[in-house]
A and B are shown apart, each in its own frame.
Chain A
Amino acid sequence: MFHKFANPTRFLRLSTALTPWFAALTIGMLAGGLYLGLFKAPPDYQQGESVRIMYVHVPAAWMAMFVYSVMAAMSAAALIWKHPVATLVAKSSAPIGACFTFLALITGSLWGKPMWGAWWVWDARLTSVLVLFFLYLGYIALHNAFDDARRGGQAASILAIVGFVNIPIIKFSVDWWNTLHQPASVVRMDGPTIDASMLTPLLLMAGSYTFYYCWVLMVRVRGELIGQKVRVLQMKQAQQEQRS
């Protein structure tokens, strides 16, 4: 299964077929999630209407961690098996994950101000997510820091793998340290503690964000694969011109 997709041509065909489905699922779940989240879900008994920020904050934060995990796993696959598609999946994931992390930080800040009275506090959860954002930026910078693209890719992969220690720190930071941030209310051992009227729109938004990631990832990986072909042909034609 895994090796099948190592063939770029096959991956190109598969991703072209899947992209419209990912786009349709993104938009469909987004419409449902926004409708239920903004019109049907009740205000929170403590936080009032400000709780609706949850529907864009929590999915962004989940995706920030999920995309990083994909990036770290694909980086490992790229280093160990020299899997050509894994390299491109990791590289193409980084800007998308950075966007999700940025959004988690910004929407969290917009939620923190009315609820905690501060845009930002240096507690474990917020700081570890800020570190995640810098890990993404560092990964992207390393990719572009070397003249030899392969060496840049290797350096970036190592950073992605080492930086993965930050993911469990983010997840458990609300349990390990005193914090203003609320603890998990969906992904927990004893099941969600959040009412279905709020959980349904939250899961729809999370689904929409997940398919958005799949959609943009396919587009970016295809762009990278075609870009590689372009560079090969350009080199070849430049050599032919030199000879003639």
Chain B
Amino acid sequence: MNWSHFFDMGGYGAFVWPAFLISAAVLLVMLIVSLRNLKTQSRMLEQLERSESEH
């Protein structure tokens, strides 16, 4: 398989690859932001429940 031919996409590489890369970037950022928020909230809940049981 010829890779430079593959990346050229019949002359449409400048349109095809940005479309795929931007899609990957946006969906990945959405996923990471959501996972991070879940982790932060879970950690806060754990801390609050611990201080609750100390009272």
- A residues sitting closer than 8 Å to B (CB atoms) are 43, 48-50, 52-53, 56-57, 60, 95-96, 99, 102-103, 106-107, 110-111, 113-114, 212, 215-216, 219-220, 222-223, 226-227, 229-230, 233-234, 237, 240
Q: How far is the CA of A60 from the CA of B30 in the complex (A)?
A: 14
The answer to whether B52 and A103 touch across the interface, beta carbons within 8 angstroms, is no
Which residue of chain B has its CB nearest to the CB of A226?
A: B41
Which residue of chain A has its CB nearest to the CB of B52?
A: A233
The answer to whether A219 and B16 touch across the interface, beta carbons within 8 angstroms, is no
Taking the closest CB of chain B, its distance from the CB of A232, in whole angstroms, is: 9
Judged by DSSP, the binding face of A is helix
Give chain B interface residues in 8-45, CB to chain A under 8 Å: 9-12, 15-16, 18-20, 22-23, 26-27, 30-31, 34-35, 37-38, 41-42, 44-45
Judged by DSSP, the binding face of B is helix
CB-CB nearest 9 A-B residue pairs: A49-B10, A50-B12, A223-B38, A49-B9, A233-B48, A226-B41, A107-B19, A56-B23, A219-B34
- B residues sitting closer than 8 Å to A (CB atoms) are 9-12, 15-16, 18-20, 22-23, 26-27, 30-31, 34-35, 37-38, 41-42, 44-45, 48-49, 51-52, 55
Which residue of chain B has its CB nearest to the CB of A220?
A: B34
Taking the closest CB of chain A, its distance from the CB of B28, in whole angstroms, is: 10
Contact of A110 among B10, B19, B52, B55 (CB under 8 A): B19
Given A53-B16, A227-B41, A240:B55 Cβ within 8 A:
yes
Contact of B37 among A52, A96, A220 (CB under 8 A): A220
Taking the closest CB of chain A, its distance from the CB of B23, in whole angstroms, is: 4
Return 10 A-B CB contacts under 8 Å, by A number: A57-B19, A103-B23, A106-B19, A107-B23, A220-B34, A227-B37, A230-B48, A234-B48, A237-B48, A237-B52
The answer to whether A111 and B10 touch across the interface, beta carbons within 8 angstroms, is no
Which residue of chain B has its CB nearest to the CB of A34?
A: B20
Which residue of chain B has its CB nearest to the CB of A53?
A: B19
Taking the closest CB of chain B, its distance from the CB of A183, in whole angstroms, is: 21
Q: How far is the CA of A11 from the CA of B39 in the complex (A)?
A: 18
Q: How far is the CA of A99 from the CA of B24 in the complex (A)?
A: 11
Query: Which residues of chain A come closer than 8 Å to B51, judged between CB atoms?
Result: 237
Taking the closest CB of chain A, its distance from the CB of B3, in whole angstroms, is: 12
